Homo-oligomer: A and B are copies of this chain.
């Protein structure tokens, strides 16, 4: 059996974006899309769309385009959404609760099965039908339930500790909001959310726009 060639990370990074746009098309009741259509919506080239899908063997039909439903399914599968992902939220403060309330995840097979917090003020509260448990019960819970992903929404100073704990308990996926660098075994996947990086990207863009304006103004003056 020949080794399938490695898909480049540039392509992978675009997949969730394709997925998102395809869901929008689906909601609009559009069942078929050409690489050209899709590329215009997403502000990329049609060549890139075809090239990207070609990496996976191609999902389209010459002279017709791509079937939206099929494409959603195929890309979903590539991204690992062909199964239910059971998730627990560790840290049931505002952020943890915000995520638990985010209904659109559930539609895509991401299911919150437990929430944990150290703070007695939160323990016992119900969020979207899930009772917040004390963190002491984490070990017991994880040995009785199948949990795929732990969402880390504790304050940063507790993050490493709880991560070590769930890793020991066998977790294989971490969605980390605690902006701490985590060290985990290489069979555990980590995705970090760095909100501050996004905020800085915003101020950079704002600065660029201000500079652009200043330049145009200067040009006009010197005329």
Contact = CB atoms under 8 A, between A and B. Distances in A.
A204 B80 contact: yes
Band of interface residues on A: 35 or more
Given A93-B98, A202-B175, A213-B187, A196 B80 contact: no
A124 B20 CA distance: 36
Interface of A: 12-13, 15-17, 19-20, 24, 78-81, 85, 93-95, 97-99, 101-102, 104-105, 108, 110, 148-149, 172-175, 179, 181, 186-191, 193-209, 213
21 contacts: A12-B204, A15-B200, A15-B204, A16-B194, A16-B198, A19-B200, A24-B181, A79-B203, A94-B95, A104-B196, A105-B199, A149-B202, A149-B203, A172-B209, A173-B202, A175-B198, A187-B209, A187-B213, A188-B209, A191-B202, A193-B195
The residue in A79, A203, A204, A213 that gathers the most chain B C-beta atoms within 10 A of its C-beta is A203
Contacts of A97: 94
**9 A-B pairs closest in CB distance:** A80-B203, A94-B98, A189-B205, A80-B207, A16-B197, A191-B202, A95-B98, A16-B200, A189-B206
Tell me the number of copies of this protein. 2
B94 A203 contact: no
Contacts of A95: 94-95, 98
A2 to B, nearest CB: 13
Nearest to A94: B98
Contact of A193 (B17, B110, B187, B198): B198
Nearest to A176: B202
